[in-house]
Amino acid sequence: MTNSFNFGQADVLFTDVDDTLTTDGQLLPETYLALCRLAAAGIRVIPVTGGCAGWCDQIIRTWPVTAVIGEGGAFYAERTAPQTVRWHYWNDAASHKRDQETILTAVAALDLDFEPQLASDQAFRYVDVAVDYNQQQSLSSEQVAVLHNALVGRGFNVRQSSIHLNVWLGDFDKSTMAVRVGQEVLGLDLQALQQRAVFIGDAPNDESMFRCFPLSVGVANIRKHLPGMAHRPAAVVSQRSGLGFAEMAENWLRQRTESDLPQAETHPV
């Protein structure tokens, strides 16, 4: 164990959502309070999720966040007025929609010994396609691997979240859009963003963020994925999911206000 993780002068937080902010599918009051405390302390919070556009619309309108990145980096949304949201796509809405239709057709045509099911929120997605393996469906690890390989073999990008396989066409991912948000929303170049931003996540589809941001944290449930991950968080907190997020936030806020006190314990990867 170590308590050496140092948040330094960071004032930006990129955070995954599923199983990082949520706990067993729920946003706990402790977690939402931690989000509010971070925002009140002047930390700009930006969720980075594989979640659908519909979910992102709710987040940007109701949570204390600066922006939200959705569908694995396909777009970001920001409030331009209290009731006004502006959407920024990686490319443009029309080309993304054509790509989405191509993926949906390919998924429907897969010839496997099981039938892949789309995520229940697919109707609310603007860009990617989400195949459910661990939300309302329950696929074995072998079936997930077969499905993953079949989709990659057809030329698609595929990332595994804690509940879905997210499938898309295009040269974006979570980290590339995070860098764009740093430039367009925060006014920070890559070097400044890497010095001032923390990322917290839980799953293999967060690897690009762990690779991009040196100040990175995993919630405890990431441990089961670490053996297969090439890019890992710099530290892992002791608690899982939303309580792990709250643990990270408490540590960060304590360092900002009481830097002479010991830091909360984290566990090295």
Confidence check: pLDDT of 264 > 60: no
Q: What are phi and psi of 140, to 5 degrees?
A: -70, 165
Confidence check: pLDDT of 18 > 70: yes
Confidence check: pLDDT of 267 > 60: no
pLDDT confidence tier of residue 2, bands split at 50, 70 and 90 = very low
pLDDT of residue 222: 97
Q: What are phi and psi of 41, to 5 degrees?
A: -85, 0
Average pLDDT over residues 7-31: 96
* CATH code of residue 198: 3.40.50.1000
Where would I find the beta strands (DSSP E) of the chain? 12-15, 44-47, 67-70, 75-81, 84-89, 117-118, 129-132, 157-160, 164-168, 197-201, 216-218, 235-236, 267-268
Q: pLDDT tens across 147-195, in order?
A: 999 999 999 999 988 889 999 999 999 999 999 999 999 999 999 999 9
Same domain flag for 84 and 216: yes
Q: How high does pLDDT run on average in the chain?
A: 93
Q: pLDDT tens across 41-65, in order?
A: 999 999 999 999 999 999 999 999 9
CB neighbour list of residue 95: distance below 8 Å, 6 or more residues apart: none
Range of the domain at 81: 12-90+172-268
Structure tokens at 146: 């077969």
pLDDT of residue 161: 85
Confidence check: pLDDT of 268 > 90: no
Confidence check: pLDDT of 200 > 80: yes
Same domain flag for 180 and 228: yes
Average pLDDT over residues 209-213: 97
Percent of the residues in the chain that have a pLDDT greater than 90, as a whole number: 89
Q: What are phi and psi of 78, to 5 degrees?
A: -140, 150
Locate tokens 């229940």: which residue?
Answer: 120
Confidence check: pLDDT of 16 > 80: yes
Average pLDDT over residues 210-237: 96
pLDDT of residue 4: 73
User: CA 23 to CA 219: how far, in whole Å?
Assistant: 11
- Between residues 5 and 16, which one has the greater pLDDT? 16
Is position 224 within any domain?
yes
Q: What is the pTM of this model?
A: 0.90
Is position 7 within any domain?
no
Q: pLDDT tens across 86-123, in order?
A: 999 999 999 999 999 999 999 999 999 999 999 999 99
The last residue of a domain, from among 105, 136, 168: 168
Q: What is the CA radius of gyration of the chain?
A: 18
Shortest CA distance to 202 belongs to which of 179, 228, 233, 230?
A: 233
Q: pLDDT tens across 22-41, in order?
A: 999 999 999 999 999 999 99
Is position 5 within any domain?
no
The last residue of a domain, from among 119, 146, 168: 168
The last residue of a domain, from among 146, 168, 190: 168
Is position 39 within any domain?
yes
Q: In the chain, how many domains are there?
A: 2
pLDDT of residue 67: 98
Same domain flag for 155 and 188: no
pLDDT confidence tier of residue 259, bands split at 50, 70 and 90 = low
